[in-house]
Structure 1
Amino acid sequence: MRDESVPVHPDSDPRHPLVVFGDHRFCAGEALAVQRMAGPHMHSQIELNFVLEGDMTYWFDGRELTIGAGRLSLFWGMIPHQVIDRREGTRFVCLYVPMSVFLGLASLSRFRDAVFRGAMIEALEVRPYDRDIFLRWREELLSGDVGLVEIVRNELTARVLRIERDGWRDLREEGSAIASLGASDSERVEHVERMLRYIAEHALEDISAEDVGRDAGLHPNYAMGIFKRAVGHTINQAIIRHRLDTAQSLLISTDLPITDVAFESGFGSVSRFYEAFAHRFVEKPTTFRKRMRSKSIMPA
């Protein structure tokens, strides 16, 4: 029986996006072969993809992004994503990293902020030995050896630091603000990660910023302050962002009426849903659904 505490690459329920919550451990996807996904999905970890051969196309937060052989990319799994196409024989290494890694590294402030704002990051420098290293990391993570997992944790953290140092670009070409939380602020990092996870697990419910802070054992004002510093936007903005991400997935992968999409996504009223959706995507939900389906971003 599979250990349910270990996050795996989720299969998507065709009716709803599936969110898988891990237990802060690094892990690797078992499959090397890239397959089209049945629909958009979300998960809580940071995902790294190293493409070994071929190329793959993601639908990622409303855009189509293609990643070819020898390229390394990473993104936050809470952004809706779906492999919609791939060249026959495409293979990749898929690794999952706890978001606490990013929250705990002070030097990653701009990089980290871009990730949590929905960037698809591509490393500008990929070395010839990266292929063998990623394959080894995958094998060692899948082995379940605690000692090896800790070594991979340290090595992969260093590789992420090198991405920030050597240069990177956002494939969506979006700007980002700069947020900062010092590496010595380990307790606050833990609080922010707990708040992010609480939002991911409960955003579809009737929750407030106060609820998020309370779950982390913090005064609401203090919680909102450290969250804004670490993530780059407010707790309320994060809740709305998650609800809109869920709405995107439902609009694409289901035939639910717009009213049902609004309530399934956690909005208390259809008017608030329309207002929030139009503010972010600059179009109505019905228009968004038609446009995305005309591009064949549909369940494979």
Structure 2
Amino acid sequence: MATRPPSPGTQDESVPAHPEFDPRHPLVVFGDHSFCAGASLEVQRMPGPHMHSQVELNFVLDGAMTYWFDGRELTVDAGRLCLFWGMVPHQVIDRQDPTRFICLYVPMSVFLGLPALSRFRDAVFRGAVIEATDLRAWDRDIFLRWREELLSGDPALTEIVRNELTARVLRIQHEGWRDLRADASAIPSLAPHDAARIDHVERMLRFIAERAHEPISAEDVTATTPLHPNYAMTLFRRSVGHTINQAITRHRLDTARSLLISTDRSIAEIVFGAGFGSSSRFYEAFEQRFHESPGVFRQRMRRGTQAGTGQP
């Protein structure tokens, strides 16, 4: 098996890791949607914000780490467990030296397939950073074991970890959690008869993640499933809280914002690199969502860097 580049938050190039990272581009390559673990325990600052399709769980063993998460800075220290959807742009911008954590990547289908997680799941897909408020003394050892077993590559152990981790997430939902952003909102839940279709929703989300930089349409997205296009669009909206066209635009905006932060590309290059067909449409969508122009956003972020916010 070929050695992969470092996983998010790490710089160790000698070990396999997930997801794959292309150093020539500030975003994760959407080639791996598997259930897996980060190979390195050591946390390092990341060169820029990135996205990936899985839900990411972080259990901080020692030290403290600060994320830039969709425009906010959030610090998580030792003994805390957080999770979030990797499709929201995020970046480790600072950490104590040393800081160690366990990083697990869980396919979104695990969350879509649990009706009991409706409010919790909906918050995750709205961009919440979930923190478990009730941890147990044995969580540290269990997460270390899960990481070791996932890295072993044994399919039987992977399935066991999937079941055990699913139960742990259900306990978080039952025992208590909070959104570190403190402003999550719920979206409509899947109806029971729709829950069996979650694999189609995941397929559509993957297609958007991988192809949003191209001139794709809602029809292109629904064509990835055997469902009737109208039903596929309805199912998608019920699952993630917005339409396919809105999801495409959101992903393009997230990509553009990440590029504005982490590269010196011109705004014109970013417009078309992110998948927008015209500058006017990009500026309109950017200002509508983020309430400032791309140029003002880039200047503000660079002023923050010069002021010592910890970004590379």
Scaled to the shorter chain, the TM-score interval is over 0.9
Aligned length: 298
Residue equivalent to 1:268: 277
- CA distance in structure 1 between the aligned counterparts of 2:255 and 2:197, rounded to whole angstroms: 28
1:96 aligns to 2:108 (yes or no): no
For 1:43, which of 34, 52, 69 is the aligned residue? 52
- CA distance in structure 2 between the aligned counterparts of 1:149 and 1:138, rounded to whole angstroms: 10
Question: What's the CA shift for 1:186?
Answer: 5.0
What runs of 5+ residues in structure 2 fail to find an aligned partner?
Answer: 5-15
1:181 aligns to 2:205 (yes or no): no
What is the one-letter code of the residue matched to 1:19?
A: V
Asked if the contact 2:115–2:195 (Cα under 8 Å) also holds between the matched residues in 1, the reply is: no
- CA distance in structure 2 between the aligned counterparts of 1:43 and 1:176, rounded to whole angstroms: 22
Call closer, same or farther: CA 1:12–1:174 in 2, change over 3 Å.
Answer: farther
Question: What's the CA shift for 1:279?
Answer: 0.9
Name the SS for the 1:43 alignment partner. Answer: coil
Task: Show CA shifts across 1:184-219 (max 9, x none).
Answer: 645411111111111111111111111111111222
Call closer, same or farther: CA 1:268–1:226 in 2, change over 3 Å.
Answer: same
Residue equivalent to 1:17: 27
Structure with the larger RCO, 1 or 2 (CA within 8 Å, 6+ apart):
1
Asked if the contact 2:127–2:184 (Cα under 8 Å) also holds between the matched residues in 1, the reply is: no
- CA distance in structure 2 between the aligned counterparts of 1:255 and 1:3, rounded to whole angstroms: 29
Residue equivalent to 2:11: none
1:232 aligns to 2:241 (yes or no): yes
Task: Show CA shifts across 1:215-262 (max 9, x none).
Answer: 112222111111111111111111111001101110001111111111
Residue equivalent to 1:291: 300
Cα RMSD after superposing both structures: 1.9
What runs of 5+ residues in structure 1 fail to find an aligned partner?
Answer: none
Call closer, same or farther: CA 1:213–1:78 in 2, change over 3 Å.
Answer: same
Call closer, same or farther: CA 1:43–1:68 in 2, change over 3 Å.
Answer: same
Asked if the contact 1:12–1:38 (Cα under 8 Å) also holds between the matched residues in 2, the reply is: no
Residue equivalent to 1:279: 288
- CA distance in structure 1 between the aligned counterparts of 2:254 and 2:209, rounded to whole angstroms: 11
Asked if the contact 1:19–1:44 (Cα under 8 Å) also holds between the matched residues in 2, the reply is: no
- CA distance in structure 1 between the aligned counterparts of 2:73 and 2:80, rounded to whole angstroms: 16
- CA distance in structure 2 between the aligned counterparts of 1:126 and 1:166, rounded to whole angstroms: 9
What is the one-letter code of the residue matched to 2:209?
A: A
- CA distance in structure 2 between the aligned counterparts of 1:165 and 1:237, rounded to whole angstroms: 32
Residue equivalent to 1:58: 67
Asked if the contact 2:214–2:275 (Cα under 8 Å) also holds between the matched residues in 1, the reply is: yes
1:8 aligns to 2:31 (yes or no): no
For 2:84, which of 75, 80, 86 is the aligned residue? 75
Asked if the contact 1:213–1:224 (Cα under 8 Å) also holds between the matched residues in 2, the reply is: yes
- CA distance in structure 1 between the aligned counterparts of 2:233 and 2:147, rounded to whole angstroms: 37
Asked if the contact 1:14–1:38 (Cα under 8 Å) also holds between the matched residues in 2, the reply is: no
What is the one-letter code of the residue matched to 1:2?
A: A
Q: Percent identity?
A: 67
Task: Show CA shifts across 1:39-59 (max 9, x none).
Answer: 111111111000001100011
Asked if the contact 2:43–2:99 (Cα under 8 Å) also holds between the matched residues in 1, the reply is: yes
Residue equivalent to 1:124: 133
- CA distance in structure 1 between the aligned counterparts of 2:143 and 2:159, rounded to whole angstroms: 15
Asked if the contact 2:112–2:239 (Cα under 8 Å) also holds between the matched residues in 1, the reply is: yes
